C-alpha cells in the first residue's frame, strides 16, 4: 500500500523524520505492508513537490533547512501545482501565540482530506477545539503522540492500553531538559545556573531554555493529554504553571536530607468540586514515588486508573530522532494492516 506524505518544516526534527522513512523503508514495507513516499516538503520560503516522490537520497546529502531545499531545486525538477497526499506531517517551529504557520497548514490539509500527524505543539495547543472539530467534520484522523512527550508513549497508553478504564489522575515528568538539570543539582550539588550551563554545553538545553525551564513545554504536553484523555477543552490559561528557575541548592539539600528529590511534575487530577485541575510545578518526591527513578534526560508518566491500578512508562529518547520516530509510529499506526 502506497502512502504519500507531505512534510511541513525541514528543521532538525523534520530532517530526522525524512532520514527515518528512508533508512527504514524496506523494514516498514516488509513488516507493515506500507510504502511511504515523501512527495512534498513545505519550507519557510517555498515548497518542493513531485507526485511520484522526491529523491530523498539527494536531499539528505544537501544539509538541512531552507538551504538544502534550495540546492535540491537546482538538481531536480519539482512541480508548481497543488500538493496532494495521504498524510500531512506538521513539524514547523512551535508558536504558542497563534499556532501559525502550523495551524494554517493543518486546516488546509484537513480541507484537502489528508490525515494529520503533528510533531509540533503550537497549533494543537492554541487551537485545539477548532482543529478537532474540523477533523471530525472532514472525517480526518489526527495523531500527535510526538507532541505529547516525543518517544515516550503517553497518549498511546491512555488511548489504547487503558481502554475501558477511567483515568483518575495523571502524573508525568514530561520534559527531559528540566529533568536533567534537576538530576545534576541533586547528584552533584550544583546550583541551577551551573546545571543549566552544563545542559547547554552538552546540547541538552537550548541557548534560550525558557520554554523548558519555565514549565511551559510540560504544560503544553499536559494540556494535550488532558484534552485527549480527560475530555477537557482547556487552554494554557487553565493550567497553574511554575518552573524550576527559583530552586536553590538549599532546596535540593533539604529534600535530600529527607530522602527526597525534586521532579518537575505535570499533574491532572479531579478537584474538590469535581472539575479537572492541571498544574505543573517542582515537587520533592520520595523514593517510593513511581517517577523517582526517572533520571537524566529521561521522561516518565503514571496513569492512575479505576480498574488497572497505576500504570507507568519511563524512558524514551529526548532528542530530535525520538520525536521523529514518534511521528513515524503515528503514520504506521494510521495505515498498518496487521492490527484490528
CA distances from 102 to 93, 125, 227 (A): 8, 11, 19
| Burial of 139 per CB tally in 10 Å (0-12, 13-18, 19+) | exposed
Q: Three cell numbers at 286?
A: 520520595
Peptide bond into 25 cis (omega under 30): no
How far apart are alpha carbons 90 and 123 in whole angstroms? 9
Q: Three cell numbers at 67?
A: 538551504
- Residue 74 near residue 61, CB atoms below 8 Å: no
How far apart are alpha carbons 7 and 322 in whole angstroms? 17
Residue keyed to cell 495551524: 103
Backbone angles phi, psi at 82, to 5 degrees: -65, 130
- Residue 16 near residue 98, CB atoms below 8 Å: no
CA quadruple 258, 260, 264, 265: dihedral sign: negative
- Residue 101 near residue 91, CB atoms below 8 Å: no
221 is a catalytic site residue: yes
- Residue 92 near residue 118, CB atoms below 8 Å: no
CA distances from 81 to 55, 78, 243, 251, 320 (A): 18, 9, 46, 59, 31
Q: Are strands 87-90 and 142-143 parallel, antiparallel or unpaired?
A: unpaired
Residue keyed to cell 513488516: 31
Which member of 121, 221, 260, 299 is catalytic?
221
Cα angle 305, 140, 167 (rounded to 5 degrees) comes to 5
- Which of the residues are catalytic? 221
Amino acid at each position: 500500500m502506497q502512502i504519500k506524505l507531505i512534510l511541513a518544516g525541514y528543521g532538525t526534527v523534520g530532517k530526522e523524520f525524512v532520514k527515518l522513512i528512508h533508512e527504514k523503508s524496506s523494514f516498514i514495507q516488509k513488516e507493515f505492508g506500507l510504502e511511504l513516499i515523501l512527495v512534498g516538503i513545505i519550507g519557510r520560503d517555498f515548497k518542493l513537490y513531485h507526485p511520484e516522490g522526491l529523491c530523498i537520497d539527494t536531499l539528505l546529502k544537501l544539509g538541512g533547512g531552507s538551504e538544502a531545499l534550495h540546492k535540491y531545486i537546482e538538481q531536480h525538477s519539482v512541480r508548481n501545482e497543488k500538493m496532494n497526499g495521504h498524510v500531512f506531517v506538521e513539524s514547523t517551529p512551535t508558536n504558542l501565540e497563534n499556532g501559525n504557520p502550523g495551524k494554517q497548514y493543518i486546516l488546509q490539509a484537513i480541507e484537502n482530506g489528508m490525515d494529520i500527524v503533528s510533531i509540533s505543539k503550537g497549533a494543537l495547543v492554541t487551537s485545539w477545539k477548532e482543529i478537532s472539530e474540523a477533523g471530525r467534520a472532514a472525517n480526518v484522523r489526527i495523531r500527535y503522540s510526538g507532541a505529547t512527550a516525543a518517544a515516550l508513549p503517553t497518549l498511546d497508553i491512555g488511548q489504547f492500553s487503558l481502554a475501558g478504564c477511567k483515568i483518575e489522575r495523571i502524573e508525568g515528568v514530561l520534559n527531559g531538559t528540566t529533568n536533567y538539570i534537576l538530576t545534576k543539582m541533586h547528584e552533584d550539588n550544583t546550583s541551577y545556573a551551573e546545571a543549566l550551563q552544563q545542559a547547554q554545553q552538552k546540547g541538552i538545553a537550548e541557548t534560550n531554555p525558557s520554554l523548558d525551564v519555565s514549565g511551559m513545554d510540560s504544560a503544553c504536553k499536559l494540556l494535550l493529554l488532558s484534552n485527549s484523555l480527560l475530555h477537557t477543552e482547556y487552554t494554557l490559561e487553565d493550567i497553574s504553571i511554575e518552573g524550576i528557575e527559583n530552586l536553590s541548592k538549599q532546596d535540593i539539600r533539604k529534600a535530600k536530607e529527607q530522602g527526597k528529590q525534586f521532579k518537575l511534575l505535570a499533574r491532572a487530577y479531579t478537584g474538590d468540586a469535581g472539575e479537572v485541575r492541571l498544574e505543573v510545578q517542582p515537587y520533592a518526591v520520595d523514593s517510593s514515588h513511581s517517577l523517582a527513578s526517572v533520571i537524566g534526560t529521561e521522561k516518565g508518566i503514571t496513569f492512575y486508573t479505576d480498574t488497572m491500578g497505576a500504570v507507568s512508562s519511563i524512558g524514551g529518547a529526548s532528542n530530535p530522532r525520538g520525536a521523529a520516530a514518534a511521528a513515524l509510529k503515528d503514520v504506521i499506526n494510521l495505515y498498518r494492516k496487521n492490527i484490528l
